[in-house]
Structures are given as structure tokens and as C-alpha cells.
Structure 1
Amino acid sequence: MKRKNLIVLIGTLLLFVLAFTSASAQGGLLTETTARINLRAGGGTEWRVITVVEAGTPILLDGQAFGGAWARGIVPDGSVGWVLTNFLTAPRDQIATLPGIWVDAPFTLSPPAPNAAVPPPPLPEEPAAEPVEQPAQDGPVVTTNRVNVRGGAGTNFAILTTVNPNTPLQPNGRNLDGSWVRGTLPDGTVGYIFAQFLSISPGAIAALPPVEGGASVPQSAAQPGANPGAVANAPVAPLVNTSPVRGFSYGAHIAGLDSGAINRMRQAGMTWVKQQFRYQDGQDPSAVAGMINGAHANGFRVLVAVVGLPGQVNAPGYFDRYANFVGGVAALGADAIEVWNEPNIDREWPAGSIDPARFTELLRVSSSAIRAANPNTLIISGAPAPTGFFGGCSPNGCDDNAFIAGMAAAGAANFIDCVGIHYNEGIVPPTARSGDPRGNSTHYTRYLPTMISTYNSAFGGRRPLCFTELGYLTPEGLGPLPPAFAWAQNVTLAQQASWIDQAVSITSRSNVRLTILWNMNFTNYGADPMAGYALIRPDGSCPACDALAS
């Protein structure tokens, strides 16, 4: 009997070692849930619930955010998402050693086994001190040290005042990683305090809205006589995500980032916003700072499409001034820049000068400026307008297939990270390759798969594609479409929702880096019926968001 028990014990130990070795071999931290919890699409309760995980479920973590308050991992059924780390067996200080990651960082770990043996938490080197009772999460937040209150989330910001221990703070926001909390002091001062020196729980920090984003001019001069305080040696908190863009992501082109759009985009799992900026010759890049800061403050990456005025393109030295501008936009923290918009038609580029080789020259000088300012900014070539109107390419206009072929021949792949592409004329499902009832039904622009294959072929697959517009037009709930758009009169809202969902799925499995949906919340409905493409409808509903969320 003793021999049999010994064999069972050895076998159990071997299973434990094998499970732990497997998790260790692929990296990550293997831990276990302590309660029935939600697995979410991002680090915060505002993100949609992917699934519910039972207590005692193994989860293999690959990264964390908000100082370890939230972590991302994979459970045995293959679901990947974020969990509040208060409900994991691994201690928070151990989780905090995982790399800080952005919500759209690619996930590479394999699921743990359902019966994976989770290693016990590491023992402290010395006996733990008696725990100090902290205020309840819904109680008052006070400072725990003499600390500086600063004008921004970092020690490079000016000191507004210095406060003593037990000073009350009314929290009203946090920076993106949760290491700094913004709040109001009893005297009305609003500023930032390093979260380590506040009596506030990680969960309470994570529940605060992100309010800080973008870069500010550092102010190094402290107020005369101010004590540096306990935060003087605290690390400067990163205010924006500066990691390179990897993997597939999606988002939407926005008219503005109001709370309705923010909530719907998070519900749909979007991590990007796009805004277009109309550049005027000689303009300062600071004009774009609000776009970038607003997106980052709400946890989104941002694509800024910079398009100039056709009448200024041929002015002497214009390309260099445009390049300096987009370089400045990159320096402000733009995650991606689309260089121009639809340069193959005279609505956006001067008639008589339309030429893919000349546009490639603009890409060349712009790329140099962007790379010098911020090597992590994704450079996207301005997407041509999908058209077969011109029957080829001339100085007065080009079909998009001829234009991108000309760009490729001129060496555009050397100056971009991604080939810009638009698709917005579909009236059949995104899986279709035939069956469009309009004339010229075999033209590649009618179908999503043939648009993808046409653009991939032009560059020989050397660069991924970035859809900077992908949308389906429906008049439902808005009235008849103008004559030029009557081709979409019979598309329903249910079809729009289903097709958007399918299109995101299709592009995620193609040679596509980014898909920006056209559009989120535009309301114009005239000669250009932008509201017909909008995902958020006049009644506030968003069927496409519901489809993407499910």
C-alpha cells in the first residue's frame, strides 16, 4: 500500500511539474481565479464581457495595465481577455512584473490545461507585518505621505502645491496606466498625485475615467519653497501608448469623440479612432494636438489623416512644408498618419497634376520626417478613391488600380508601412465575388474580396493593407438617398450590421493591419449622405456595434 501511495504521489508531482514547465516554456504567469468573474475585452468595466469564468479556473497571463490592477490572459477554452487581478491567486506585485501592454497587443500564448497545476504564490522573505487597515473602497481618499500635487501625470510637470498626510482628495480621473490619480483638494486645487501615496484601492483607480493623454511641455521649475515630497523619485508615468503597432486592429472614423461614441466603440471592441485634418500651407502641427490627446485620454489609438488643399499642392516647396507638418503630428504622439486622401481624383489633387509617381515623392519626404519624429508612427499611403471611371490613368484622373500600380512601380513600398484602401460601395455581402445587380457587375470595386486581392497584387504582398474607410450605406430611418447614391436604396440596417461584422472578420484574416469603419457618428444627410453610413443611427442605436460585440 505504501508503495502504491508513493507512486501516486510521484505521479501527481510529475503532472504538476509538467504543467508548470509547459506554462513557463511559453512565457507568461500561470495563476487561478478566486471567484466567478467577467473576462473583458479591455482593462476596465466599461469594456464588453467576453465570457464569465468560474472560480478555480487556470488563466495564463501575458501582460498587465494600471500598475497590475488589470491583467490579460487566456483560459482553457481559448478565450482571451482582461480580468481584475483582485480575483486572482497571484499577488498583485507579482502580476505587476508582467510587461505593461496596450489592449490591441497581439496575444501569442496557448491555453492552459483545465487541470493545470497552478504554483502557489511566492512566500515573503520575512514574516509579513500586521496588515494596516485601509479605508473602505467607497470611503474617503486621503494622502498617506507628504506629497507634491502636480499639473500633470508625471514628475516633469509643475508642482501646484504640497500637502500633508491625511489630506482628503476627491478623485475624478486617472492617467492611462493608473499610476497617477487626478482629483480636487479641499481648497479647490485640481491636480495629480502619484497613486502609491493615496488610500485608494486598485479597483477604485481602474473605475476612474482616463483623463490624461498626449504630451505636454514639461515644467521643471518647482514652486519656491516647495518640499519635493514623497513623489520626487516616482517614475514618470507614460501618458500615451508609444509601442509599435502590431497585429490586426479596428476602429472607426469619428465626427467627434462624445460619450455615446466612446461607449459604443468600447462595446464593439474597437481600439482606434480616425479623424481627418485639412492642412493649410504653413499651419502649425499643434492644431492637431486636441485630436490626439482626446483619443489617448479615452484609451484609443488615433489615426490622423492629413490632406491638404488641391490649390496649394503645386506651390514651390509645398511638399517639404507638408512633410514638416506631418512630422510634427507624429511628434505629438499620433499612432498612425495617412498621407493625403484619394490623390487619384481632382477633388483632392489638382487636375492636370495627378500622377502616382509624383504622389510617391510626397510619400518619400513625408516618411522621412515622420520617421525622424516618431519611428513608431504607422505610415499609411493616402487611399485612392475606388473607381473605374477613367479607364486607366491620366493627369486628370486615375482608376485606383492603375494608380496603386504606378505607386508600386515608383517605389512607394519603401516609404510606407501600410497601403491605404477604401471600400464603400458594397450592396452585397462582403463574402460575395459576384452578383452585384448594377452595371459593370464584374468590376473589382464592387466586392470586398476583389478589392483586397487587387491591392495585394499591386504591391506583391510586400506591405499590408490598411482600410482607412470601410462602410455600407443604408437609408433606413433617414429617408430617400440622393440620386447619386440611389444604388444603396434597398440596403437595410440589419444588412449593414451583419456586413460590417463579416467585413471585420474577413479583413482580420487577410493581409490587413487596420480596418477603420466609415463612419461612427456623422450626421450630415444631404448630397453626401454621411449619416447613411454611420453606425450610430438617429435614435442612438448601433446595430453594427451589437453585432461586433456578440
Structure 2
Amino acid sequence: MGISIKKQANYSWFWLLAMLSAVVLALSFAIPASAQDEEAEEPEAAPTEEVQEQITRQDPLWAQFTAARRAIEAERDGVDLTFVRSYRYAQQEYERGIDWICVEDVAESDVRPVYFGFTWTITDLGGTVHQARTSVLPGNEIVVAVCDEVIETGAAAPDTALPAPIEGSGAVGDFELGGHVDGLGANAVSAMRQSGMTWVKKQVRFSVGGGTGTAQSYIDDARNNGFKIMLGIVGWTNEMGDFDNYITQYADFVGQVAALGPDAIEVWNEPNIAREWPEGQISGANYTRLLRAAYTSIKAANPDVMVISGAPAPTGAEAAFPGQVVNDDNFMLQMREAGAGNYFDCIGLHYNEGIVSPTQSTGAQDGYPTRYFGTMLARGANVFPERPVCWTELGYLSGEGMGQPIPPAFAWASDVTLAQHATWLAEAARLSAQSDRVRLMIVWNVNFTRWDDDPMGGYAMLRPDGTCPACSTLGTVMGVSGD
């Protein structure tokens, strides 16, 4: 894994194996790996170079910490960070680039366009505090900025006040709201209207040789209830072996669907993970080949259909599962490099791992960037600044009222209350509308009930007792008075 302080145009996130990272960091320095300074009883030596290299290959977070220490030592005469008194780190978004504010006297034109990373605050044995920023680029190259002054990066206090939604604050410009439904029954339609939704989303599974009857029924159902409709069209990985031929078949199908008159088509779903794309073939470049053909076919059949790129799954597990996962930010960079910006009208994004208010940029205990609304918005918006954003899946998981505990794999959401679920959805709609970047927000979800290893029902606006707290909060920000 190389280390660079040269000008770079790309960035990446590797927050995978966070629990292992915490253990490694804690054992290596006898200091808990958290966003808080804690003093060790005795300073510990860093591992030997050989051991350190073994750790680095497995743990990108450790690699960034090592790179930060080395860069500080290289820039400052006499500084030795083999032993440290304490350290802390925090996930950060760098609005104007990694060097901005951190490096003094840097011209704005020379600020490297790296917008996400970790900020490391390290106290040496003499009590001097040093700070550096790190980020990982495609190819596992680490970029480092050594800060001239220490900038406070403390975590924000948890959001407990749950501010009331502001009337009409989401009714801005062309922004529209919708929901992903498991059928448009009377309760779902009522909830959507009360929430100010004008769009409905349904997913269509394309099978080679299959027809468009399902898509037609979804379109008819939406029209009969007064909604615009987005169709997410995704295929089966076991049919994609002959990829060139498959691209043609998929493109033909989405063109046929476009001719039926939907308002938008999302081309695939989460193509950066092996559940939705063949293992070993996952890349933004491969996806762009499919996207290009689909876009051409859709526009030829119906130029009024909005084409949305398939939203990648929010993840940082690329290094842990090579061939099975590509980090969402890496994936979109690969798309850009392959020319994908010419083949969609709106960049599709997902945000479904939030555990703090969308107004916060810090405060999640695990520090994963996928926890933060602003970070996830910027991950796509900054890569394709010339295109609007469409949230094709945005939701908050709450197990409150579900009758059984949240499944272990989703334990990160155990503390999210139903009141937070409702308030945060409204805040996300308001922030999206006022961002001047978001065209459409599809809430995941309106009325799914599944509650097992995939707890869809915990994301639902309509709860098991028939209530819909989010209907009121969303309706307020969207400026509607109810059904």
C-alpha cells in the first residue's frame, strides 16, 4: 500500500473491519481506539516493521494511522512517534479538499480534491499534539496532509431534541418525494398522500426471454392512484455469463418497458456487490457498459423517461471481500472514468444505515461514513457534479414496536427510536430539497412487513400497529395537510 502526498484527483473510503481495527489499535498501543483521548499508563512501542506490514495489508485503518505518523515524522525534525502518549481519530468530510484549512498558505488551486478521510490527532511523549489527515485512493494509495495547526474534531453531541419539522421546508423547487411500496393498497396510498409523496417505486426482475406484463401492471396501478412511477429493473446474476449478449437482451427489455410510459427507470440495483452482480466481474466500468446500452435503448423508445443510474450499496468492505464487493465511492469513480456521466439523467444513491440525525456529520460511535446523510450525498454528488441526485432508497431502521429484537446483523440500529425514524426522514427530505442537488427522494419503505434476517418492516413508515408517525412529519415538511 503506497503513501503519497502528491496531488490526487480521486479518493476512497476503507472503514471495513472496524471492530478488528479497534482491537488492533488498542492492543498495539494499549489505548482504546475511539474518538476520545485516553491516556495509557505506560507508552507502548509500535509493532516491528515486519509485524506492522502484516497488519497494514489486512487493516486499511491501521495503514492510514501508520501513514499519518510517518508523514508527521518526515515533515518535523526530531519528532519520533514510535511511542505515543495518546491519539484519537475521527471520520471527516473535507468540503474544499484535504489540504484546506489544514495546510497553511496553500493556494486554493493547489488544494487536492480529496473530500473524505480520517483526521488523526496524536500526542507525543513530550506532550506536543500533532494532526494529520488521511484518505485512501483507488489502488490502495494513501494520501496524507500534515496539518500546521491542530483543528478540533470532537464528535457532536447526540441528537436528542428531535426538532419539530418546519412547515413546507421540503417543498422547494423541482424536488419530489416518493416511496417504495409492497403493493398500493388503500393504507399505503393514504399514507403516501398524507406524506406529500407524488412518486411510487417498484422493482422489476428481468429474466431473459421474459415479457413486460409485470411492468405494465405496476405502471397501471400507479396511474390509477395518481402517482408517477419509477421502475428499478434488475436481472439475475446467473444469466449474465455471456455478458455482451446479456447487455443486448437487457437493453432491449428496458427499451420495451420505456415504451409503456413509466416516468423513470433505475438501471439495476446495487451493482457493486456480488448479490446483484457476478462475483469477480464487479466494476464501475463493466456496469457502465450495461448502462450505456440501456440508456440508448430507453431514450430511443421514450425520450421522456428519466434514466437513473443503479444506486450502489453503501459499503467499505472491498478489501475484506475482494471480487465480491467494490466500495460505493470507488465504484462511482470507476463509472466516471468509463464515461458514465453521459448515460444517465440522475445519479442513483442509497442511504439506509443512518443512526444519527441527517443534520449531523459526526456522533456515530463506530464512525462509519455510511452513517451520515451529508457524507453519503457528497459521495455521489461530488463525483458527478453536473447531474442531480436521486435517492432511490433512503430509510432509517427502527425495531421499536416490531415485537422481536432487531436481527444481530443489524444491531447497529438497536437504539433508533420510532420518533427518530419519523423525524429523521423529514429532516432528510428537507435537507435534500434545500441542497439544490437532489431531484427525488424515494423513502425505503412504505409498507413492507418482513421481519427476519432482512428486517424490511423496521424501515417501513406504516408500523405493525397501523400507525404512521413519519406520515405526519413528512407531510409537514412537504407542505400538505393530510389525506
Residue from 255, 274, 281 that aligns with 2:182: 255
Gaps of 5+ in 1: 1-78, 81-103, 108-246
SS state of the match for residue 196, structure 2? coil
Matched, 1:287 2:287: no
Matched, 1:495 2:423: no
**Residue equivalent to 1:342:** 270
**Residue equivalent to 1:366:** 294
Tell me the percent identity. Answer: 49
**Residue equivalent to 1:513:** 439
Residue from 231, 238, 241 that aligns with 1:304: 231
Q: 1:121-132 counterparts in 2 under 5 A?
A: none
- C-alpha RMSD of matched pairs (Å): 1.7
Q: 1: CA distance between counterparts of 2:240 and 2:443?
A: 28
Q: 2: CA distance between counterparts of 1:436 and 1:362?
A: 36
Q: Which amino acid aligns with 1:283?
A: G
Q: 2: CA distance between counterparts of 1:449 and 1:392?
A: 25
**Residue equivalent to 2:284:** 356
Residue from 359, 376, 379 that aligns with 1:454: 379
Cα offset for 1:397? Answer: 2.0
Q: Which amino acid aligns with 2:381?
A: N
Q: 1:365 and 1:393, CA in 2 relative to 1: closer, same or farther beyond 3 A?
A: farther
Q: 2: CA distance between counterparts of 1:248 and 1:407?
A: 25
1:1-57 deviation per Cα after TM superposition (whole angstroms, max 9, x unaligned): xxxxxxxxxxxxxxxxxxxxxxxxxxxxxxxxxxxxxxxxxxxxxxxxxxxxxxxxx
Q: 2: CA distance between counterparts of 1:549 and 1:356?
A: 37
**Residue equivalent to 2:474:** 548
Q: Which amino acid aligns with 1:477?
A: G
Q: 1: CA distance between counterparts of 2:325 and 2:465?
A: 39
Do the aligned partners of 2:449 and 2:457 also contact (CA within 8 Å) in 1?
A: yes
Cα offset for 1:305? Answer: 0.3
Q: Which amino acid aligns with 1:275?
A: K
Q: Which has the higher helix share?
A: 2
1:506-535 deviation per Cα after TM superposition (whole angstroms, max 9, x unaligned): 111121111000000000000000000000
SS state of the match for residue 299, structure 1? coil
Q: 1:201-216 counterparts in 2 under 5 A?
A: none
Cα offset for 1:392? Answer: 9.5
1:456-495 deviation per Cα after TM superposition (whole angstroms, max 9, x unaligned): 1112x11111100000000011120110001111111000
Q: 2: CA distance between counterparts of 1:290 and 1:298?
A: 12
SS state of the match for residue 249, structure 2? helix
Cα offset for 1:277? Answer: 1.0
Q: 1: CA distance between counterparts of 2:175 and 2:209?
A: 35
Do the aligned partners of 1:250 and 1:270 also contact (CA within 8 Å) in 2?
A: yes
Residue from 454, 477, 483 that aligns with 2:401: 477
SS state of the match for residue 541, structure 1? coil
**Residue equivalent to 1:417:** 345
Q: 2: CA distance between counterparts of 1:307 and 1:449?
A: 27
Q: 1: CA distance between counterparts of 2:245 and 2:379?
A: 34
Q: 2: CA distance between counterparts of 1:384 and 1:434?
A: 23
- Normalised to the residue count of structure 1, the TM-score between the two structures is 0.54
Q: 1:522 and 1:463, CA in 2 relative to 1: closer, same or farther beyond 3 A?
A: same
Q: 1: CA distance between counterparts of 2:424 and 2:269?
A: 24
Do the aligned partners of 1:380 and 1:418 also contact (CA within 8 Å) in 2?
A: yes
Q: 2: CA distance between counterparts of 1:483 and 1:278?
A: 29
SS state of the match for residue 360, structure 1? helix
SS state of the match for residue 382, structure 2? helix
* Structure with the greater alpha carbon radius of gyration: 1
Q: Which amino acid aligns with 1:354?
A: I
Q: 2: CA distance between counterparts of 1:453 and 1:393?
A: 25
Q: 2: CA distance between counterparts of 1:543 and 1:250?
A: 17
Do the aligned partners of 2:204 and 2:214 also contact (CA within 8 Å) in 1?
A: no
Cα offset for 1:539? Answer: 1.2
**Residue equivalent to 1:383:** 311
Do the aligned partners of 1:355 and 1:394 also contact (CA within 8 Å) in 2?
A: no
Cα offset for 1:285? Answer: 1.9
**Residue equivalent to 1:539:** 465
Do the aligned partners of 2:354 and 2:371 also contact (CA within 8 Å) in 1?
A: yes
SS state of the match for residue 499, structure 1? helix
Matched, 1:468 2:392: yes
Q: 2: CA distance between counterparts of 1:387 and 1:364?
A: 24
Q: 1:334 and 1:307, CA in 2 relative to 1: closer, same or farther beyond 3 A?
A: same
Number of aligned residue pairs: 305
Matched, 1:436 2:364: yes
- Normalised to the residue count of structure 2, the TM-score between the two structures is 0.61
1:310-352 deviation per Cα after TM superposition (whole angstroms, max 9, x unaligned): 1112225111110111111111111000000000000000101
Matched, 1:317 2:241: no
